[in-house]
Chains A and B, each alone.
Chain A
Amino acid sequence: MSTTEKTYRSKVTQTEIDMQPPDHAMPAKRDAEPLTVVEPAKGFSAKWLALLSGIGCVVGFSLFEAVTFIESNFASSPIATSVLAVVLGVFVLSVSFMTLGEVRGYRKVTQFIHRRPKLSELARNDARQATLDALQLHASQFTRHSYAEQCYKRFTGLLKADHSSAEIVEMYRQFVAQPVKAKASEVVKKESMASGSMAFISPNHLIQSLMILWISMRTIKRVAKVYGLRPATAGNWKLMKILAQNLAAQSIFDLATDEMTNQLSGSLAAKLMENSAEAVAAGALNVRLGKTLMRLLEEEK
């Protein structure tokens, strides 16, 4: 076979390298590695330290005053003075540490809300890297071992070099935003059940309000944790507006049920009905609280 084959210049240069090829890992499994939220080890918290050292101060100063009163020789009791000074120092330090944590938590809430990604805008962005950076900026706020952080890790493991912005955003929705939302909905559902149960068994309105207040605070904390946000006590103030709506609505409902109870002359059946209605209302309002909080922490529309 005679062929007049031309010679072509190669546009690929090849060299042998003295390395072993890397082994590709199998893709992550869904069930074998469930996303488990690791709670940080509970040690001696700053709150407890402040409380105890405060009590220590009160007790210490009381003792100190007692000693000076009894012995009147202030200069002759240097050890007691030293101990009191140390306890006071610890108290001041721990209060400062706690205050700092609260300030950071408060700022984190503000940052978290302002740094929420606008996913629909990111999907239209031609610059793939800018989309990844925006998502990374948001994800950098997730607390370690939170559900959101683990979902995000899994999402980054699935990324490939040729995924476009729209595909990255779609995957982010599928593997981070939607699972986190589903998990938060689960939490809200559980909390609203708890809220309803507490409202049902509460003997009077004061206890009922306190219970609802406590459950509502707990709901805020737990939902925020799912989203990777740890707002601390001061940070919860940012979210308290929603809580206030919750409690205000509850009070209006109380008035309505009180009036209905009066009409029914305070029978046992009426009491049961009142409590049932309040339980349903408390549960429903807790759901509203949770859903509003979820909207506040989700992607910016």
Chain B
Amino acid sequence: MRNLLDSVLKPVRRASGAGSAQFAEWFMQSRHRFTITGLSRSGKSMLFTSLMTILKYRSEQQYQCLPLLRYLPMDLVENMWVEPLGDLPEFPVEEHMAALEQGEWPPATESVAGFQLTVRLRQTHSVKKYLLPFTDIVFEFIDYPGEWLTDLPMLDKSFTQWSDSAWAQQMNEPQNQFAKDWHEAVSGFDFEQPPTPDAINLLVSKYREYLLAAKAQGISMLQPGSFLIPGSGFDWQEYGFTPLPSRISSDLSSPWTQRFTYHFEVFQKNWLAALKQSTFRETDKQIILVDLFEGLNHSKSHLYQLRETLSNLAQTFVYGDPGWVQRHLLRQQKIAKVAFVATKSDLIPAAQKDNLLALLKDVTRGATAQLDKDEIQFEHFLVSAIQATDAGSNEQALRYVNSEGRYMEATFEPLPDSLKAMPADEHYPALPAGVPKDHLARILNGNGLDRLFQYLLED
């Protein structure tokens, strides 16, 4: 009898359980999907580490961090927890904190990781608190190597289109400074020989050498970036390809063009399409991290190529405001809010921050023009995930401990407020700040994250 009753009630219970979970998801959860788009070395991993640490200490130990984040008022936060995000590996926050403890910055990301962070807020409304006692704010974050991001625009191109555009980029400043050997190798290469695996490997390794050298010199637009890191799931040794000179790429009967077109399509289908589906999933908010110091450290032409890279990337994502019905009932996601963020803003004196913000606006001009066209909200922010520097002896100076443990004072000449104002023969060397001993306090005293997330979360 009991078994019979159980068998009857089981589906009812299951339906009821599923119903209550659905009810909770619909009415008690506010889900925010963030795409954090950042090129290699833009500080994504440190930002995630800092954000998780700050929210943990704010929620569990009541440290008054993020004072401008009114969307998550401290006195209403009941609990916070981190869960895995789908099948993605967990974000290694513990390893990153351990690295900081050892005096080392978190290592560069070489594979994808993700997490879902839920903050539970108490309901204060006198009636609602009996019906919906809490609201969960769910954040989804995915960390990935920045090199993968630069590959996304390749998804919508044919091999010939990509080859021609890559070739054109290599001819421009500053890439042409590092492409000489590669160009010489191509000039001397016999494209009459059949594309055997050995011949392809020779060409691919020469191209890879160029990519690695350019990456070391601060170039961001390098395709395919997936060839540069071991964590990528694409077998570039088997399906490698390189841009070809237009005399070859325009000849569709050339065995090289045919072979590289095939490899390119394998790259698009087996790697990029799957990557976009799993890692660059559709979201409703986007944070675009920009490391201006990489450009300031090298030259004016580096900043110009950063602007070009950001403009290209802006064309990769789907922007638009889907509206309540599309978002909640039809489950359609489009990026409706974008934040451009200059990271590591603690590496300049406070007096120069207005100029840095103006420079950020100028560097992102191409991308914002695209957003303006789609009538998408966007804003610019300066953020430091950790306050690694101290105030200097005057307004234009700051102090930091370098990687050798020496305490240095750096005095800055005024930063340019636009690309035009950046002198062609001058640069601002990036400060090689080491990890401070009091890194936890300096993470909790980080700057700008509250302003950024308040903007993204508020309606």
A residues at B contact (CB < 8 Å)? 1-6, 8-32, 154, 158, 160-163, 167, 170-171, 174-175
Contacts and interface: CB of A to CB of B under 8 A. Distances in A.
A183 to B, nearest CB: 13
Interface of B: 61-65, 67-68, 70, 74-75, 177-178, 180-181, 209, 213, 217, 299, 350, 353, 382, 387, 390, 399-401, 406-413, 423, 425-429, 431, 436-438, 440-442, 444-445, 447-448, 451
B50 to A, nearest CB: 13
B448 A162 contact: yes
Given A27-B445, A171-B67, A3 B409 contact: no
Contacts of A167: 68, 451
Nearest to B61: A29
A12 B399 CA distance: 12
Nearest to B400: A21
Given A3-B178, A9-B425, A160 B62 contact: no
B213 A3 contact: yes
Contacts of B390: 21-22
Contact of A4 (B177, B401, B426, B436): B177
A174 B70 CA distance: 8
A9 B180 CA distance: 24
B320 to A, nearest CB: 29
Given A2-B181, A158-B67, A174-B70, 9 more contacts: A6-B299, A9-B426, A13-B410, A15-B409, A21-B407, A24-B438, A25-B441, A27-B65, A27-B441
Contacts of A160: 447
Contacts of A12: 410-413, 428-429, 431
B432 to A, nearest CB: 10
B407 A26 contact: no
B457 to A, nearest CB: 15
A19 to B, nearest CB: 6
Contacts of B180: 2-4
A162 to B, nearest CB: 5
A30 to B, nearest CB: 4
Chain A interface secondary structure, helix, strand, loop or mixed?
A: loop
A17 B426 contact: no
Contacts of A25: 441
Chain B interface secondary structure, helix, strand, loop or mixed?
A: mixed
A1 B412 contact: no
B369 to A, nearest CB: 26
A285 to B, nearest CB: 24
Contact of B407 (A3, A16, A31): A16
Given A1-B178, A2-B181, A161-B350, A11 B426 contact: yes
Contacts of B427: 8-11
Contacts of B400: 21
A19 B448 CA distance: 28
A11 B412 contact: yes
A217 B170 CA distance: 81
Contacts of B429: 10, 12
Contacts of B399: 17, 19, 21
Contacts of B448: 162
B64 A17 contact: no
Contacts of A1: 178, 181, 209, 213
A5 B218 CA distance: 13
25 contacts: A1-B209, A2-B181, A3-B217, A8-B425, A9-B423, A9-B426, A14-B409, A15-B408, A21-B401, A21-B407, A21-B436, A23-B437, A24-B442, A26-B63, A26-B441, A27-B444, A28-B63, A30-B63, A158-B64, A158-B67, A160-B447, A162-B353, A162-B382, A163-B68, A175-B67
Nearest to B414: A11
A30 B64 contact: yes
Nearest to A32: B62
Contacts of B425: 6, 8-9
B408 A16 contact: yes
Contact of B64 (A10, A11, A20, A28): A28
Given A12-B428, A27-B65, A19 B407 contact: yes
Nearest to B58: A27
Contacts of A170: 68, 70
Contacts of A28: 63-64
A171 B68 contact: yes
